[in-house]
Structure 1
Amino acid sequence: MRIGLLGTGPWARLTQGPALMEHPEAELVGVWGRRAEAAQELAGRLDTRAYPDADALFADCEAVAFALPPDVQAPLAARAAAAGCHLLLDKPVATAVPAARAVADAVTASGVASVVFFTLRFAPETSAWVAAQSATDGWLAGRADWFSPVFGGADTPYSTSQWRKERGALWDVGPHALSLLLPPLGEVTGVTAASGPGDLVHLALRHASGASSALTLTHTMPPQASSVTAELRGSAGISTLPERADGGAVRPFMRAFDALLASARTGEAHACDAHFGLRVTEVLARAERALAAGPPA
């Protein structure tokens, strides 16, 4: 599949570019970025060409992969879908519901395939856990805690990410947590939220199944106190998210590209498609409104 890469930041350099170069069924056509010099540099590293115009890249590709801030990604994704390109999106699809809905509507109208890259949903151990728990009945409660040190003193290339600083862990790791809990517990029907120090937020969710879940999300945890955990409790007992054997994202991204290939070839929508990405954005937008409203008097 001929695929283009949009974005030139750490995610593009460290994950998506290397994964697309390594994948035997991907032909990396070119790179587009908001800064021409950065696109030229990354294209040289990936042995491909830089495109000065995103629409020209769409015209030369069957698919495009996104490594852009969500609200830059969304309008470009809708244009790419209208141009007939399959979409390998990053999470969240957008931080505004109308923008995420425009992407989902463009996918439907054009008939292209779409996959949103939720890292844990494409790592073998954790994706198998989600599938097994989704096939199990009787869950009553779920929990996901994402204590990240990105802005808490960790040495990471994402510490300079402006959109992460502005939108916080709610929008950056909240999608990951929801991608784990929504399949086994069902769609969200109610959201309450409270804030803590830094960008820490607590969400309490009611699900269509009748179950409830709690999410704690932050990027401002000191490295010595950081962790990622998730669990489900119900008639089957307690099930805990397993650790990934490999903490890197290159292999999971290659599996996400496999999923896009399969969806494009079969016409069957993937569970993590643009419509699922829209539902995640809707939940997080409700949480954001609840945080803005503050606790009840």
Structure 2
Amino acid sequence: MRIGLLGTGPWAQVAHAPALSGHDGLDFVGVWGRRASAAKELADRHGTRAYEDMDALLADVDAVAVALPPDVQAEVALRAARAGCHLLLDKPLAATVAQGQAVVDAAREAGVASVVFFTTRFQTETEAWIAEQTGLGGWFTARAQWLGAVFTGDSLFAASPWRREKGALWDVGPHALSVLLPVLGDVRRVAAAAHGPADTVHVVLDHVGGASSTMTLSLTAPPAAAGAAVELRGEAGVALLPESSGGVVPVLGRAVDALCAAARSGRSHPCDAAFGLRVTEILAEAEYLLRPSAGDAPGDERFVRGTPPTQR
């Protein structure tokens, strides 16, 4: 598969470019970035070509990997899908429900495959654990904590404008949801959402199967308190999400494998753009409940004043 990289920021540098250049099943054709100098530097580092024109890159590849902020990702993914490119996307899929829906529609209309890189879903240990717990069923409740120290420690992403704007809900919330949804089922409604310290939020979810779950999400946790944990309680007892070994590059390589398989078979991957859209809808509903006044209509045109997005 001929693939191009859209984006040159820290995530593209530490994850995407090494994963694409080191993958035996790919021809890493080139890099496009909003800054031509950054694209050239990254392309030179990985022995590929820098493109100044995004459309020229799209014309030369079968697929693209996107490492851009969610609002920008949605725009370029739409463009890439319409150019017939398969999509390896990052979480969150988009900054609004309408943007996410547009990506899903474009991918469907173009007949291209899509995979959204929810890290936990592509780590060997956690992927197997999620499948096992989903098969067991009978879960009564769950507790997910995703506590990052992006803004309190030494992080590559501390200068990220979109993370400062959207906070933990949109950055690490997708990770928690990517575990909870396959195990407990879809979310019927966001029952409650409340602010904690700094950007920390607490969210209560009501799942279609009758289970409930809570998420505690933060990018401003003390470094010594940072970490991720998921606890399930139900008929099978108590189950804890295992820790994962290995770095992000081989894990992203497994997402590339999933995209190649989906492109060959024509079968959707469980973490496709449609799943990314569902996660976006849940995040948008929680964000709505966190507003000072839930009667103030958010900027997304798909919201109805006074009505949460999943109850449109």
- Compute the TM-score of the two structures, normalised by the length of structure 2: 0.93
What is the CA–CA distance in structure 1 between the aligned matches of 2:20 and 2:171, rounded to whole Å? 23
What is the CA–CA distance in structure 2 between the aligned matches of 1:128 and 1:199, rounded to whole Å? 31
Aligned to 1:159, the other structure's residue is in SS state coil
The amino acid that maps onto 2:105 is D
The amino acid that maps onto 2:280 is T
- 1:30 is matched with which residue? 30
- 2:179 is matched with which residue? 180
- 2:287 is matched with which residue? 288
Q: Is the Cα contact below 8 Å between 1:4 and 1:28 reproduced in 2?
A: yes
What is the CA–CA distance in structure 1 between the aligned matches of 2:95 and 2:129, rounded to whole Å? 27
1:55 maps onto 2:51 in alignment: no
> C-alpha offsets along residues 66-118 of structure 1, whole Å, 9 cap, x if unaligned?
10000000011011111110000000010200000000011110111000001
Aligned to 1:203, the other structure's residue is in SS state strand
- 1:76 is matched with which residue? 76
Q: Is the Cα contact below 8 Å between 1:3 and 1:64 reproduced in 2?
A: yes
Cα displacement (A) at 1:226: 1.1
State how 1:1-297 maps to structure 2 within 5 Å: 1-152=1-152, 154-191=153-190, 192-246=192-246, 248-293=247-292
What is the CA–CA distance in structure 1 between the aligned matches of 2:156 and 2:137, rounded to whole Å? 40
Q: Is the Cα contact below 8 Å between 1:194 and 1:294 reproduced in 2?
A: no
Structure 1 gaps of 5+ residues are: none
Aligned to 1:4, the other structure's residue is in SS state strand
Q: Is the Cα contact below 8 Å between 2:288 and 2:294 reproduced in 1?
A: no
Aligned to 1:31, the other structure's residue is in SS state strand
Change (3 A) 1:238 1:61: same
The amino acid that maps onto 1:173 is V
Q: Is the Cα contact below 8 Å between 1:194 and 1:295 reproduced in 2?
A: no
Cα displacement (A) at 1:48: 0.6
Q: Is the Cα contact below 8 Å between 1:31 and 1:49 reproduced in 2?
A: yes
Structure 2 gaps of 5+ residues are: 296-312
- 2:310 is matched with which residue? none
Cα displacement (A) at 1:190: 1.1
Q: Is the Cα contact below 8 Å between 1:78 and 1:102 reproduced in 2?
A: yes
The amino acid that maps onto 1:116 is V
Cα displacement (A) at 1:294: 5.5
Q: Is the Cα contact below 8 Å between 2:97 and 2:277 reproduced in 1?
A: yes
Aligned to 1:135, the other structure's residue is in SS state helix
Equivalent pairs: percent with the same residue? 59
What is the CA–CA distance in structure 2 between the aligned matches of 1:51 and 1:286, rounded to whole Å? 38
Aligned to 1:157, the other structure's residue is in SS state coil
What is the CA–CA distance in structure 1 between the aligned matches of 2:292 and 2:180, rounded to whole Å? 25
Q: Is the Cα contact below 8 Å between 2:125 and 2:242 reproduced in 1?
A: yes
> C-alpha offsets along residues 21-58 of structure 1, whole Å, 9 cap, x if unaligned?
11100111000001111111111111111111111111
What CA RMSD, in Å, does the superposition of the two structures yield over aligned residues?
1.1
> C-alpha offsets along residues 231-261 of structure 1, whole Å, 9 cap, x if unaligned?
1111011110000022x21011000000001
Aligned to 2:280, the other structure's residue is in SS state helix
The amino acid that maps onto 1:265 is R
Q: Is the Cα contact below 8 Å between 2:205 and 2:212 reproduced in 1?
A: yes
What is the CA–CA distance in structure 2 between the aligned matches of 1:135 and 1:80, rounded to whole Å? 36
Cα displacement (A) at 1:295: 8.8
The amino acid that maps onto 2:88 is L
The amino acid that maps onto 1:221 is A
Cα displacement (A) at 1:293: 4.3
Moved over 4 A (4+): 293-296
The amino acid that maps onto 2:44 is G
What is the CA–CA distance in structure 2 between the aligned matches of 1:104 and 1:236, rounded to whole Å? 36
